[in-house]
Structure 1
Amino acid sequence: MTILTDQGEAAPGAQPFFDLARLISPINPETFRRDYWEKQPLLVEREDPHYYAELLTLDDVDQLLFLAGANLDCIRVVVDGEETPVEDLGNHGPNGRTAILEALYARYRSGSTIVLNALERRWDPLSRLTTQLSTEAGARFQVNVYLTPGGGAQGFKPHYDTHDVFVLQVHGTKRWRLYGSPYPLPFQDQPYDHSAAEVPDLEREIDLTPGSLLYLPRGTVHAATSTDSASVHITLGVHPVLWSYVLQQAISKVAAEDVRFRTGLPFGFVGDPELQQEAEKTLVDLLRSVVDQASPQAAIHDAVDRSVSISAPRLRHHLTDLEAVSGVGPDTKLRRRPDLRWDLKLTEDRVRLSFHNKTVEFPLHVADEVTYVAQSDGEPISPSSIPGTLDQPGRLVLIRTLLREGFLTLH
């Protein structure tokens, strides 16, 4: 466990929106990737309780619950590891649905933790944050927010998560107990088994204060309780593209081309030791064949496509953009959407621009122009400012297409 302290406080409006560097400051992203990612916990303590206020506050959580009203399907109520479905809180009588919010608060007042799931879908600062981090990490980020009443309340018993987490303490102090990693980096289908697993020895106890951050690699057994006051923390769950996925995809591609992979094991092998030995030799040959036939370049390109496709698109102002498509002229100012995840590939005759879980193709002769627009990095551009040999009508078609598809937005 490494502890880093950051006591600096920037003036309001002095910093750009959160990226990984600002999230984990003062540690730099390269140090984090080398020393902590998937390896060990990291604690960053700050004497700035408002460090994450730009993302969420206690009052923001109050507003989210208030506006949710009876539509609380993305909210969980948990105490000591026992979860109550929200729909079971107030569905009794003619006005049962409208009584759910009060029932939710009744549970909270009696010690239950309120969990707001997938908040990146409903709260713009967290949506922007996950989009930015996904772009940097090449992984999918999901946000859950935990509201725990004061007085030592505990939502979950000791357990590990099957995804890495960044914990951002927003309000109050929460006490975290870390028990080590008996099974490092579990798959998603390998959850913590409360019935069979013995809790490892306690390794560290941490009081996470407002503005501080805790990173836990998946598989780290932990539990958290509130202290005197209510606690609000943001959990960023990280879902990277795993090597197991890359290998599975590579084997699938080889199997589609090589009929040997599509044949069955020897007929009658279950009761025949000689056939079992023959099967072992065949398996060795097939594994060697995967190494010989699989293309590492193609496999990594597939991983890039997977990474680009696993985050939801941010299409704020897209309706306004669509209304403006036909009016785009040579000097209309546009820009690439901020924090957009994209990938550009050139084939023998096409330019393939992938983003927002789709691919838009162009003729190869406009490769320079498409590359220029894609690499504009959010700077304002106009059809007339695009270098290359494409004529003005062609540039207008290109820009209008990318505006209509959501790659560009009006500046």
Structure 2
Amino acid sequence: MVDGYRTREEKPMARIRSEIETPVAHSDGLEWLLHPITPADFLHTAWEQQPLLISRAQRDYFQDLPGLDEVDEMITTTMSGRRIVEDDASRLVRTDDKGRISQRDFRITRAGVPDIQDIYQAYHEGHTIVLNGIHRRSSKVANLSRALEATLHHPVGVNLYLTPRHSQGFDLHVDDHDVFILQLHGTKVWHVASGLSPATEHGKRPLSDIELRTMTLESGDSLYIPRGFPHRAQATATSSLHLTVGVHAFRWADLMTEALRLLADDDAEFRSALPPGFLDREIDPENVARLGNQLAHALTDESLARRARQSLGARLIGAGKAAPGGHFRSLDRLARLSDDSLVRRTRTMYHRIRSGPADVAIEFDGNFVSGPPFLEDALRFIADHELFRVDELPEIGNFHSKAKTDLVSRLIREGFLAVADEAPEGNHAT
């Protein structure tokens, strides 16, 4: 019994142990996050169903992500201005041994930056430092967020938690989104609900009735917690630094809501006003049934479903994240771009081709490049390949080969492509 909640020691619902020597690059997104378990196995056995602990016995697995020594700089150089701090809701949180929680925002100096000395003092007193929206401040984290969105097609945000030793941030609580916990430094003990039905049915059961299981994360370990599973965590004899990668999944209700909005744009009857005084009287059930039947019929129309999916996809493309580093180097090399130049996508991210009778466009990361329809084959080739030589592009209409370098140059200037370092001879399209 721990603070009134039932627990079981070290019996996670699903657990993977691995001895790993060489991690895969985190540009692979979900595969890197789950290694050595495969994404297919994860989606079949854990996604929305049960927590999954991956114990890697490799403390430096997350060495490419921000570490303990970077937290101070991240607070003071990427959070200037009261508005930014309030929007991201970064704060100090502490739960004492009696379950009482206290939290407050960072204090802001006259210079408009967080008071780092006040944060140091709060940390010394046992407060957890919570930095929300790290994917907007760190290019390393942004690259991981983009890569996951490219695979999952759901929005991904990342928060950072630094907890002093023998301390606890939040008490037992429920998140409305799925999370991956990436332990970057130290050790943290997690108590996570078990024996629950799938995540889509969670959130109504009293927390006092929840059975908890205990699992320990060490540096390099990952933990997946489906939305709706109550959980809490405490640092041990050392401080703990972890990232919470939140997957804010689009639901079937979101797709249907978007479809209804699009249907209303096309059908004036769905845009007509409810009758005056409708709050005090019953709405005509026949009219409701008729409109419901029209909606049900419309939802079977693939063109409407496709437009609804595209609307959700636009939210991924428009999400703001930190820019990847090193692109000025590619811009400096534009003058030497030729048919023999090797180019690559700047980062793994969700992108798509939008085509119509008048134009075609490639959309990505809050931006797009469009042109005449004869560019479609070339743009689709670019969308499908991470690395290629300019002369490997399909022919662009009846234009001279310079059209290929012009198109690639435009995509480099807009941030979708970058000039790659040279590789051995051969076909490079991948």
Q: TM-score range by the shorter chain?
A: 0.7 to 0.9
Map of 1:387 onto structure 2: 394
Q: Report the alpha carbon displacement of residue 307 of structure 1 after superposing the two structures with TM.
A: 3.3
2:41 to 11, 17, 31: 31
Residue 352 of structure 1 pairs with residue 361 of structure 2: yes
2:192 to 170, 178, 202: 178
Map of 1:335 onto structure 2: 344
Paired residues for 1:8-407 under 5 Å: 8-11=19-22, 15-17=24-26, 19-65=29-75, 73=85, 75-80=90-95, 81-87=101-107, 100-151=115-166, 153-179=167-193, 184-185=199-200, 198-269=207-278, 276=283, 279-294=284-299, 295-310=304-319, 312=321, 314-322=323-331, 324-325=333-334, 328-377=337-386, 379-382=387-390, 384-388=391-395, 389=397, 390-407=399-416
Q: Report the alpha carbon displacement of residue 67 of structure 1 after superposing the two structures with TM.
A: 5.6
Check 1:313–1:170 CA distance in 2 against 1; reply closer, same or farther (3 A cut). closer
Q: Report the alpha carbon displacement of residue 201 of structure 1 after superposing the two structures with TM.
A: 2.6
Q: How many residues end up aligned between the 2 structures?
A: 391
The TM-score, its normalising length taken from structure 2, stands at 0.81
- Which stretch of structure 1 is more off in the superposition, 124-133 or 279-288? 124-133
RMSD of Structure 2 on Structure 1 (CA) = 3.1
Map of 2:425 onto structure 1: none
Q: Report the alpha carbon displacement of residue 254 of structure 1 after superposing the two structures with TM.
A: 1.1
Q: Report the alpha carbon displacement of residue 264 of structure 1 after superposing the two structures with TM.
A: 2.8
Take 1:69 and 1:302, find their aligned partners in 2: how far apart are those partners? 31
Could you list the runs of 5+ residues in structure 1 that have no partner in the other structure?
A: none
Take 2:32 and 2:165, find their aligned partners in 1: how far apart are those partners? 29
Take 2:76 and 2:275, find their aligned partners in 1: how far apart are those partners? 64
Check 1:186–1:405 CA distance in 2 against 1; reply closer, same or farther (3 A cut). farther
Q: Report the alpha carbon displacement of residue 69 of structure 1 after superposing the two structures with TM.
A: 9.6
Q: Report the alpha carbon displacement of residue 403 of structure 1 after superposing the two structures with TM.
A: 2.0
Q: Percent of aligned pairs with the same residue?
A: 27
Kept in 2, the 8 Å contact 1:171–1:231? The answer is: yes
SS at match of 1:240: coil
Q: Report the alpha carbon displacement of residue 28 of structure 1 after superposing the two structures with TM.
A: 0.8
Kept in 2, the 8 Å contact 1:179–1:199? The answer is: no
Take 1:212 and 1:406, find their aligned partners in 2: how far apart are those partners? 33
Partner deviation per Cα, 1:209-240 (whole Å, 9 max, x = no partner): 22221111111111111122211111111122
Kept in 2, the 8 Å contact 1:344–1:353? The answer is: yes
The TM-score, its normalising length taken from structure 1, stands at 0.84
Check 1:186–1:374 CA distance in 2 against 1; reply closer, same or farther (3 A cut). same
SS at match of 1:372: helix
SS at match of 2:176: coil
Take 2:105 and 2:280, find their aligned partners in 1: how far apart are those partners? 50
Kept in 1, the 8 Å contact 2:139–2:324? The answer is: no
Take 1:96 and 1:2, find their aligned partners in 2: how far apart are those partners? 49
Q: Report the alpha carbon displacement of residue 271 of structure 1 after superposing the two structures with TM.
A: 5.3
AA at the equivalent of 1:287 = G
